[in-house]
Amino acid sequence: MRRPPVIAIDGPAGTGKTTSAREVARRLGFAYLDSGALYRAIGLSVLRAGIGDPDTLAFAKLLNELPIRAETGIGVFRVWVGETDVTEDLRDPQVAAIASKLAVRSDVRRRIDAWLRELSRLGPSVVEGRDIGTTVFPDAPLKIFMTADIEERARRRLLDLRRHGIETSLPEVVRQIGERDTRDEERKEAPLRRASDAILIDTTRLEFEAQVRLIVAAWYRHVRKTRRWCYAAEQWSIRSVARVLWGFHVEGVENVPTAGGVILACNHKSYLDPPLVGSVLPREIYFLAKRELFRIPVISGWMRSRNVVPIDRGGVDRTALAKAMGLLAQGNALLLFPEGTRIRRPGLGAPREGIAMLAARARVPVIPALIQGSWHGERGRRLGGGIHLRFGPRVAIPEVAEGRQGRILFPEIARLIMEAIGDLANAEESARISV
């Protein structure tokens, strides 16, 4: 299986790496992995176990049996040692000093690298550290290297320590950071250095918001480049024509995850809906379409090359469902119409259960989308408002059990999804009213 993408953010202490990495992860809906916290967790365990010399059996045993557990979430990284959440204890400068000394050891580094690679399999992530772009994920699609003057870094670190009730002085922090820089840069194992393909960001005089925007923009640039040129060219043509003919406009594209499996659940009014939805996203997406449309060979070939998967209408098409599951599991975006067919009257139709089954089993985000006006567009007419497409925030789908027990919830899940789509219309109305 394809590994979910990683954004690698490296650099010395105090460059704003942690806060930026966390915020970038939050904005992109990625998990956040703090590799430094893992080094610190081992440091803390050594400190607590009272091991003075790591070249002992006691240390080897500790490293082998470490009860360290990392909990990752969107923009969140917490570390547990046994039953205790030690995330806050890891900030202690004493712990940082030991972590930096242990980080020169290859046994420690191998252990943490393996951990990070394992955690990164769970989904797209932003991974922060010193050697992420050079050693841990040398094939990361986006690498950032952050730097800043040492004085500025020390000032930031001092503020951070004070916020956490740790008192120290600026010269002392400059000395500590300088010492750590030297150790991190001069060690033999995976020294701190910029990967040749990493984007350099000097944060000495850069505001936080600007740092985050630079990284997010670089990521979107990367995502756009993953589309085939013919796909991207067609997207542009469709958007341009739709804008001129039907005043096509879009909102909320930022709600659509840029990586990983995702279901886009849209209401269905017209044949124009799939190309219109597909035309506005920075990544390629997959579509399902009734098999009859695949009868004409040339068109069939073109549709397949544009990620359209044939589906039998009427009964349950198990092959198509399995194919859809596979696409989502491989980290693709799939556009589905919960109503199953075009609804040729105002308002929304009732949802079918297929989408609920996919959402519950694939466990990927479901993003609602509402398209309005495309029905008239299909007939060559244009209503006052034109064609309007809006994406909303992720629908909260309850976890369901496997088998029959879980199936009972499918109608409810389908209803939740349809309701989220309907809410997008209300959001628009309330916005209009408030104007």
Give contact residues for ligand DC (rule: CB under 6 A): 13, 35-36, 39-40, 96, 99-100, 103, 129-132, 180, 184
Distance, in Å, from the CA atom of 348 to the CA atom of 354, rounded to the nearest integer, reads: 17
Pairing of strands 249-251, 388-391: parallel
Nearer to ligand DC, 149 or 284 (CB): 149
CB 132, min distance to ligand DC, A: 6
Q: How far is the CB of 90 from ligand DC (least distance, A)?
A: 7
Chain centroid offset of residue 366 CA = 14
| Closest distance to ligand DC from the beta carbon of 103 (Å) | 3
Select 132 or 281, whichever has its Cβ closest to ligand DC: 132
CB of 6 to ligand DC, least distance (A): 13
Give the residue among 157, 174, 175 at the shortest CA–CA distance from 166. 157
**By CB neighbour count within 10 A (0-12 exposed, 13-18 middle, 19+ buried), where does 229 fall?**
exposed
Closest residue by beta carbon to ligand DC: 36
Q: Which residue, 44 or 266, has its beta carbon nearer to ligand DC? A: 44
CA distance 257 to 168: 42
Report, in Å, the least distance between residue 68 CB and ligand DC: 14
CB atoms within 10 A of CB 9: 31
Q: Of 37 and 362, which has the nearer Cβ to ligand DC?
A: 37
Q: Which is nearer to ligand DC, 101 or 249 (CB)?
A: 101
Contact criterion met (CB below 8 Å) for 265 and 369:
yes
Is 342 strand, coil or helix?
A: coil
User: Minimal distance in Å, beta carbon 53 to ligand DC?
Assistant: 19
Instruction: Classify residue 82 by burial, with Cβ atoms within 10 Å: 0-12, 13-18, 19+.
Output: exposed
Taking the complex as a whole, the smallest distance from the CB of residue 98 to ligand DC amounts, in Å, to 9
Q: Which is nearer to ligand DC, 177 or 309 (CB)?
A: 177
Please report, as a single letter, which amino acid is at residue 59.
F
**CB of 17 or CB of 269, closer to ligand DC:** 17
CA distance linking residue 308 with residue 334, whole number of Å: 10
| Cβ within 8 Å of residue 431, ≥6 positions away | none
First vs last C-alpha separation in the chain: 49
Q: How far is the CB of 95 from ligand DC (least distance, A)?
A: 8
Tokens, residue 85: 């959440």
Of 131 and 273, CB closest to ligand DC: 131
Tell me the residue length of the chain. Answer: 435
